[in-house]
Amino acid sequence: GNSVTQMEGPVTLSEEAFLTINCTYTATGYPSLFWYVQYPGEGLQLLLKATKADDKGSNKGFEATYRKETTSFHLEKGSVQVSDSAVYFCALGGYQKVTFGTGTKLQVIP
């Protein structure tokens, strides 16, 4: 079946540092890939998505590229802010099931 593996946290960065959160997947068919963000005490909301190989999703300074050759969808941001502190989930949307990674907690300190 499908699976998603993302780097374990927590990740602690200073403000304005570069962020990378790794995500790799295994899948059959042609899934879509997503990054969701969960702020403290809230539900999940979509951060960005990519629906096919080589697509780049971007939003709020975050980017991720759907790499079929390396089965990866790493999340990056050039300069993080304190307000980016949250839990980030990589997810794979298949025709039927949706599979999430275990989440990576990011803490950005001033």
Residues that bind another protein (CB under 8 A): 30-32, 34, 36, 42-46, 49, 51, 89, 91, 93-103
For the CB of residue 79, give the shortest distance to another protein in the complex, in Å: 26
**CB-wise, 70 or 96, nearer to another protein?**
96
**CB-wise, 46 or 82, nearer to another protein?**
46
**CB-wise, 14 or 51, nearer to another protein?**
51
For the CB of residue 70, give the shortest distance to another protein in the complex, in Å: 21
The DSSP annotation for the chain comes to --EEEE--S-EEEETT--EEE-EEEE-SS--EEEEEEE-TTS-EEEEEEE-STT-EEEETTEEEE-BTTTTB--EEESS--GGG-EEEEEEEE-SS-EEE---EEEEEE-
